[in-house]
Structures are given as C-alpha cells and as structure tokens.
C-alpha cells in the first residue's frame, strides 16, 4: 500500500524551513538587499551593517560569546574546514604539525584532517568506546609538544552520542592546545556556553534547526591564532571573504530564537518512544550509541540479517524518509565509519537505520514508523539467508 | 514519488519471485558475505535427462538491486538448460529489469555469479565437469573465502583463521586457527567440507583445529 502522506524522519540531513524564519528573511531578499560592504556608499549599506551586527550578536550570545568571536560561513562544512585548515596554516610552521580528531567525526573534520595529512601533518584518529565516547585519558596521552589542535564533535551525526566536551576542553586548556568542536547537531538545543566550557572553535549551522541551507557559523575564541582560508574582501573581521549572506544570517538568528526547551523535550519523547518500542517489539535489534547521553532528536538502530537500503526503500514506499549506514546507500560503497568506530561489524553497519526528529513530527509519526518497520523487517528477513538458525 | 530504480526493479523488489530454499537441492551456492555487503544463495533442481533447470530458488541479504536481480535471474533461468543458464550475463539481467544504476553493478552481479556457482556445484557433484583443472592451494583458498567466520561476520581467509592448506594426492588438508572444542568448530568444519568436497579430483578433506 502506498501512503500519500510523507513523514520526514531525516532531520539531521535537512529540515523544513519554519515560516517564521522565512518571514524574517523576506525583507532582506526584496527591499533591503544591499550588503554591508557598501556601508560607506549609501544608507542601505548602513542598514545592512546594522542587521549583520544584530544577528551576529544574537548568535554569539546563544553560546555565551561576544560578537567579535562569531563569523558567518556557508555552513558547517566550511566552518570545520576553516577551523582545521586555518589553525594548521597559522600554527603548522610555528608550533607543530600534529592534530587529534576522533574516529567518528563527520566528514568535514575527518576529510580536512586527511587533506592536512597529505600536506605533511600528523593526525591521530582517536578510538571511541562501544557507545561512541572518546576516552579522556587516551586523549590526554595523545597530546604531544607538537600538537596544535584537538577536534572532537559535540554530538555524533549518526549515533547521537554526546561527548563530555567540558572535560575535553579542560584537558586541552591544561595542555595548551586549541580545541575545536563540531556542534552542528547540538546548537542551540544542547547548551554549550563558552564562559563555562573551554572551547576555542565551534562549528554551527542553520540547516539542522529549521533555518535556511547555506548559512552557518564559526565561533573563534578571542586571540586564537587562525589563518584566513577564503581570500577576497575583508568581510567577517577579515577572516572569511565573500558577500555577506544577510537573509541567511537573519534566518539563522531567527531559527535559533525559535528553538525551545519544551520542543526539545517533545523530540526526546518521540526518540524514546521509537527506541523503546523497536527494541521491545522487533527481535534482533541493537541500539547504536548511548541510551541516554544522546541527541534528543536521534535514534539509530541496527536490524540484523537485513540490509539498510532495502529497509529505507520499503519505508519510502510507505511514506517514511529515514537514512542508513549501509554501504549500499553510500556513494563510496563503504559502510558507516561511525558504526565500525564503535566496534560494529559490517552486518551491523549494513542494517543500521537513523531516525532524526524535527519540529514537524508528531508522536503519531513515531508510532506509525515502528508499525511499518515491524512489517518491512519481517518481510525482508523472510527472504534473507541469514538469521534462520533461530527459527528451528 | 520518485525512486532511483526502474518500475520493473521496484516490482521485483517488492514482490520477489521464487524466494526460499529447495530441500535436497541438486545444486546450491552462496555468493558474497555480510562482509562484502550483500549475500545471495541460489538453489537449483535439475532434470538429469534434459539437463534443464526444473526449479530455482534464491534468498537475498542485500539492497534493492540485489533482491531484484536475484528475482529476475530465477525467471530467466527456469526451464533453460545448464549451458544456456550459465550464459546469462549481468547485462541480460539488467536489461530485463529495465536497467540498473551503474554504481549498483557490484550488488547485482552477485546473483548472476550465484546462479553460475550453483550450476558448477551441480556439475561437480554429478561428475559433469568438462574442463578438469587440478585442484591447487589457490583453488582451495578461493573457496574458503566463501566460508564464514561467525564470530566476525567475515570469511575465514580475511579473518586469518586459515593457518595452512595442503593439497596432496587427492587429499586436502585445511588447518584452522581455533581450538577443537570451540563453539563454532563443527559448524565451520561442516561448511569447509561442503565447499571443498565437490571438487572433481578431491577424494578426502581433512579439517584440523589448532590453537
């Protein structure tokens, strides 16, 4: 049966724009389309400068920072590239060429580190435990005199595990190395206040919180040595050139303003519902990531003996959009590096499904996807050569 | 709604034909393993007088193109002679399905290989092998790549469980790096026998377990 109604449960990939965000952006697309670079030429430019200042201040404040510490970028990929490559460029010949990242970072961090490796940097890829946590002692032991930067995510994009970044930050401060964290999936839902948590660089993005695509930001702690990576004009305190994306910036600030603790609680209850129901109702399933220290919007479960792309396609035909860590799903034909990172085998990666909730989901969606899944998984298992031993 | 596959692929994916096992099949094969991603098993029944495939069934642990190819291949092969069925190519299967995305070739080629291996298995078991190449250590190793190490979900060769292979006067000796009383020892032994014994010039298979 094909269901016409679409239920989108892939909110870590993209989110629906909130109408209130669009309304806030509209004036800057039509009447006030000048950019701040023109502030000394005409009054529209001054207005543009003012609105940039206001939104920058609001976003900086959301993490306890001052406006001068926040630059706008085109999104989290660019932010993480600036953080890793900018620090490498600034400190590589001055202090050392060693960088530490966790094994389960998202691709902007992981592949920036790999790119730097080709440029002669040494990279330590820190192991994580079976829940996805970085071991703090191992981190401390990995830092050498050559280390310039540690980059460990706030929460994982696939399995949702939230790292103890407060203590990671303290270790980095104590050892005198810079600390970058990718907060794409936590900001501003999970508090990260730079006045309490020692962090030097934070990657954030609007696309995960019902803001527009193509706008993100990077917090840069005052005094952090970082080289300019995108050359051109003098925008963003001469740290990132490029025409200011004013509608995007306004939309980002509005999106942050609309995130509430009450909503986060609702997401968490949907998350808990599907985790509890799937583990109880569908046999041979494994939760990926920590049960409680995880993103409120994220559930990730492996369905043994079946392949993830087959599950997603069946769910899609029933009107549910989810994602999988299966090799068949990725363009690189490699299974999820996150599932391998937490010690999972190919089979566990192959059958892993990620559900991420957003503002427009309801408890009804959470229940409906579990009901459909039970059917789909049963059907796929009936044609699978694996897992039949238990039936006899 | 838009899908990355043709209507025919989706139809076979949703309603795969000839799914299941054949008890006491005349020939059978498993291609792939969870480690390589996908896995297909193929079972065939053969009429010894006509050499035609009277029945064929498959099981799939795989993505949509793997399932759909398994399904179409059973339809294409049923009723054909062994020699005809062996000649079915990935291209023919793909065309019958209205085309498959190129990137999915590796998942779908497994089913085609599965059919060929099942035919090969039938011929070996029934003394019909035409081209009689002597069994070598390499032949054995290749087959052991299809025996699973249940602890890792990977094959024996990749998980370094095969300590030694010896081929001498029709006797194949395989040394497995596991204690003889290991919980999976007997299952692994059985699978090794099943894979190696049908080789035409193999008279005896000895599986030894050492720590």
pLDDT digits (tens, 9 = 90+) for B186-205: 888 888 888 898 888 899 99
DSSP A171-203: HHHHHT-EEEEE-TTTTTTS---TTTS--SEEE
Which helix (H) or strand (E) covers residue A232, if one does?
none
Which helix (H) or strand (E) covers residue A298, if one does?
strand A298-303
Question: Residue A23 burial by CB count (10 A; 0-12/13-18/19+): exposed, middle or buried?
Answer: exposed
State the pLDDT at residue A332.
Answer: 62
- Report residues of chain B scoring pLDDT below 70: 33-37, 150-153
State the pLDDT at residue A121.
Answer: 98
State the pLDDT at residue A330.
Answer: 67
* Whether B104 and A328 lie within 8 Å, measured CB to CB: yes
The beta-carbon neighbor of A346 closest among B34, B64, B106 is B34
State the pLDDT at residue B2.
Answer: 82
Class of domain A7-16+260-391: alpha beta
- CA dihedral (A190, A194, A197, A201) positive or negative: positive
Q: Which of B22, B35, B36, B157 is catalytic?
A: B36
* Whether B67 and A310 lie within 8 Å, measured CB to CB: yes
The span from the CA of A102 to the CA of A113, in Å, is 10
The residue of chain A with its CA nearest to that of B31 is A385
The residue of chain B with its CA nearest to that of A317 is B1
| Shortest CA gap A333–chain B (Å) | 8
State the pLDDT at residue B4.
Answer: 85
- Report residues of chain A scoring pLDDT below 50: 1-3, 390-392
State the pLDDT at residue A2.
Answer: 45
- Residues of B with Cβ-Cβ distance to A346 under 8 angstroms: 34-37, 153-154
The span from the CA of A96 to the CA of A119, in Å, is 13
Domain B7-125, classified CATH 3.40.630.10, yes or no:
no
- Whether A7 and A369 have beta carbons less than 8 Å apart is answered as yes
Task: Considering the domain delimited by B137-209, tell me its CATH architecture.
Answer: 2-Layer Sandwich (3.30)
Pairing of strands A70-73, A216-220: antiparallel
Residue A328 annotated in active site: yes
Domain boundaries, chain A: 7-16+260-391, 32-258
The span from the CA of A258 to the CA of A206, in Å, is 12
CATH 3.90.1010.10: which residues of chain B?
A: 7-125
* Whether A345 and B152 lie within 8 Å, measured CB to CB: yes
The span from the CA of A246 to the CA of A235, in Å, is 12
The span from the CA of B63 to the CA of B111, in Å, is 12
- Whether A44 and A182 have beta carbons less than 8 Å apart is answered as no
- Whether A122 and A99 have beta carbons less than 8 Å apart is answered as yes
State the pLDDT at residue B149.
Answer: 76
- Whether B138 and B123 have beta carbons less than 8 Å apart is answered as no
Class of domain A32-258: alpha beta
């Amino acid at each position: 049966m094909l269901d016409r109604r679409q239920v989108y449960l892939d909110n870590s990939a993209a989110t629906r724009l909130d109408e209130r965000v669009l309304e806030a952006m509209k004036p800057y697309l039509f009447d006030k389309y000048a950019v701040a670079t023109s502030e000394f030429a005409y009054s529209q430019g001054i207005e543009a400068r003012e609105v940039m200042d206001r939104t920058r201040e609001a976003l900086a404040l959301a993490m306890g920072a001052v406006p001068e510490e926040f630059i706008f970028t085109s999104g989290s990929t660019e932010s993480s590239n600036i953080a890793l490559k900018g620090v490498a460029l600034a400190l590589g010949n001055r202090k050392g060429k060693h960088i530490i990242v966790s094994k389960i970072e998202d691709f902007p961090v992981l592949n920036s580190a790999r790119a730097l490796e080709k440029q002669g940097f040494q990279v330590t890829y820190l192991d994580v435990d079976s829940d996805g946590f970085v071991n703090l002692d191992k981190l401390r032991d990995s830092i050498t005199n050559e280390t310039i930067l540690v980059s460990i995510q706030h929460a994982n994009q696939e399995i949702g595990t939230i790292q103890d970044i407060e203590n990671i930050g303290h270790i980095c401060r104590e050892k005198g190395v810079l600390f970058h964290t990718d907060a794409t999936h936590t900001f501003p839902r999970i508090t990260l206040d730079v006045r309490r948590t020692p962090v030097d660089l934070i990657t954030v993005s609007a696309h995960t919180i019902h803001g527009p695509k193509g706008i993100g930001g990077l917090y840069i702690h005052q005094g952090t040595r970082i080289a300019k990576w995108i050359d051109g004009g003098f925008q963003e305190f001469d740290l990132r050139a490029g025409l200011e994306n004013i509608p995007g910036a306004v939309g980002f600030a509005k999106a942050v303003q609309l995130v509430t603790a009450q909503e986060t609680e609702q997401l968490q209850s949907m998350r808990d519902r599907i985790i509890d129901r799937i583990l109880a109702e569908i046999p041979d399933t494994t939760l990926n990531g920590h049960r409680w220290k995880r993103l409120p919007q994220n559930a990730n479960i492996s369905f043994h003996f079946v392949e993830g792309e087959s599950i997603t396609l069946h769910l899609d035909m029933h009107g549910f959009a989810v994602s999988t860590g299966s090799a068949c799903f990725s363009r690189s034909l490699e299974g999820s590096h996150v599932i391998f990172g937490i010690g999972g085998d190919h089979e566990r990666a192959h059958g892993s499904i990620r559900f991420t909730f957003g503002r427009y989901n309801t408890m009804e969606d959470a229940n409906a996807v579990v009901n459909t899944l039970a059917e789909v998984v049963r059907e796929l298992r009936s044609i699978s050569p694996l897992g039949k031993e238990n039936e006899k | 709604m838009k899908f990355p596959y043709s209507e025919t692929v989706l139809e076979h994916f949703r309603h795969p034909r000839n799914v299941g096992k054949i008890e006491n099949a005349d020939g059978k094969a498993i291609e792939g393993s969870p480690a390589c991603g996908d896995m297909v098993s193929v079972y065939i029944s053969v009429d010894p007088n006509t050499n035609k495939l009277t029945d064929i069934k498959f099981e799939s642990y795989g993505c949509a193109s793997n399932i759909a190819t398994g399904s179409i291949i059973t339809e294409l092969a049923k009723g054909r002679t062994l020699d005809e069925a062996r000649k079915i190519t990935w291209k023919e299967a793909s065309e019958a399905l209205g085309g498959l995305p190129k990137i999915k070739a590796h998942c779908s080629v497994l089913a085609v290989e599965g059919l060929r291996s099942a035919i090969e298995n039938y011929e070996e078991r029934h003394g019909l092998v035409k081209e009689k190449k002597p069994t070598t250590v390499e032949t054995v190793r290749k087959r052991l790549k299809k025996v699973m190490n249940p602890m890792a979900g990977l094959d024996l060769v990749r998980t370094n469980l095969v300590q030694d292979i010896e081929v001498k006067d029709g006797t194949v000796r395989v040394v497995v790096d596991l204690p003889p009383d290991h919980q999976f020892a007997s299952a692994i032994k059985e699978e090794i026998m099943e894979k190696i014994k049908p080789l035409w010039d193999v008279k005896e298979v000895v599986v030894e377990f050492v720590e």
